[in-house]
Structure 1
Amino acid sequence: MVKRRFSALFLTLTLLLCTLPAAAAEGDNWLVPKVQEAPAFTDMAGVWCEDAVQTVCQTGLMQGRSDGSFNPSGALMPEHIVTICARLYDLLTGGDGTLQEPAADQAWYDPAYESLAEALDYAGGLDALRINIHPDKYSIRRWQFVELLDQTLTAADVTLPAINQITVLPDTTDTAVLKLCSAGILTGSDQYGSFRGNESLNRGQAAAILARLADPAQRQTFTPEPFDLCADVLGVDGATVLLTVGGESVTAELFAYNLCDALCRGDGSTQAALEDAIRNWCFYDAPFQFLAEDLSMRLTAEEQAEAAQAGQNNAGYLGMGAAYWQYKQSGVLLNGNLRMLYWEKDWKTGEAAYHQELEAVSEALLESAEPTAALTSLDLDAIRAKSKNSPICWSGDSL
């Protein structure tokens, strides 16, 4: 009797368990499938990216080293990220991530280059891909990895859902970076969400990016703090007048980047950097507006709207507000219009005449430039130190 009751109870429990919803197995909702078990690496216990390395090795996108370690601080070379992206594309398009073995006369990474060049439909194929990412030449920078990763996702027709509202970062406006930030794949390197695209990428960082890509549960939500170059680096309000040029006031909102960039990138005296900043303003920012004013040239309503839109789109990049980027775009448009005007006057000599006139205007503006007391009272040494540790010195060729 006891045995019969036990059997009935066992059958009931079995039927009940079979009708309960099963918990999703690890990897069931991953973007790419789990294709293997991750080894127990000898150097990953307690390391910040331990879970990410576990995930990315389960997908087969990255592997450990022959000595049983993963080496999270090790550098990534171009051939490594090409191999990663070739495996990723294969996994995203129904494969198992296995690449062909190299032929006897090939380097170990040649099949990955060939596979990815075909997948990305590079004009020129393998040679074009190698021009962009030279094997065995240098360690990879963050922007290079993100560029190739974005191209791979696009080729595989993968669109990642946005979980963050990221439209601009203080050191890049690149759409690939912004997409991955919005998707929670990239999280920035400081409270401002700075990308630091020109910094080298190590294996642990790559694993973290790829793990978030593979496993939606690891993606990060974040809201960057706004970066204001005037307030955070110069320590002044953007409306503060720092210069008068050609009788016009130049506010910190328009001049802050020129000053901080010159201080950040120059190795000479701060006074020399200040002089460079003023010269750059007079030659590369202001002359188009002044020359256009002399010629009674105005932007059209459409062009004004375009400049205003550029201001809104780029507000926050380099810590500068919409007014700065609107002014910059207005200069770009006026430059084009002025060149056309001079060219139409005389297509043979117009270009040279325009440059001569522009240089004359710039020289006159430089002669008229006067720093205000607000500018001369700034601690340029302190501003240089802050500039070197700010997003403006991390910007560059990040795509």
Structure 2
Amino acid sequence: MKRIAGLILTAVFLSVLCIPCAATDTGRAYPGFSDVAEGSASYEAVKLCYERGLMNGTSETTFSPQGKLNVAQLVVLAARLYNLQNGGGGTVPDLPDLGQPYLRFYDEDGNKLIFFTMEEIPACNAVGESVYIGAAYESDGSELPETCKLEIGFEGYNHVKTFQGVKESHQSVPGTMNQGYVGTGYRFTDPDAASFTMLPGIQYVEQYKKAWWFPAVFYLGSEGVMNFDGELVYRASNGNNGDGSGYDPAVRFSKDNATRALFAWLVERSAGELEILNETVDVPDVNPDETQDAAAILRLYQAGVLTGVDQAGNFGGDKELTRAQAAIMLARVLDPALRVRPGG
């Protein structure tokens, strides 16, 4: 029972933590990288991405425009982009102290009902777009009010989120990890509930928290942009755990070069809603019914962020991404004036 509760509730915790800060200007003066010539195709894009705090150079004087972006670098860029697009300054928040997650139930007047740590939750499950959290066993639930407010967070961490719950009796399904639980709890139907069980669990945090890129993964997961295992790792490993012998993100993320397909999937999710400039797009090698993440790719074409890799307009999703190419496409997200319009 505790294992399922832990996995689901950990996902709940991670969905509420990182609130973007107020808009800021990084104020970074572009240093004029020696390997990005003024007037070149990527000059303005590199300059903008640097000034906004989205991309850095590979040294104080060079950008390495033809260098490849690896998966780890792309994930960090996506997290910075998400922060910028939501009023921040392109900062990836540090990991919180993960040792003391809690759930606190209050009545509508703000009076304490029940406080739990993760290990104390009697039952939890996700059904459709809602989450049920047990609050009391059958003998203890009669006095609970019909509605409650639930606060979720970590001890000593400032970011919390509250949800409105409705009282509901529950009997666990025989054969499940919660078998034997009969009691009263609350069902939460917040629109974000569908993603609660898809975000990084504590087992991933403990395994990867020392990786320099994991705060970006945690941040994007906590904001509901993507989940770590079922989505990011799946795509980074080409859907089959790489060579079949196991895909270890701690090793592979910093070694495997990012593809244009992975870039499109992450950036489309991180950029937020973008204005449609090109209603009709024809991308020969992107089949809406067969190509993975075709919808995300086509939306970036429609928004004037993506263009083809050849005269035919092919996307080239399996091609590796250079730093200059990434800068050009990211700059189009940051500045609508740079986006490609019909006939452009």
Larger Rg: 1
Higher helix share: 1
Which structure has more relative contact order (CA 8 Å, sep 6+)? It is 2
Higher strand share: 2
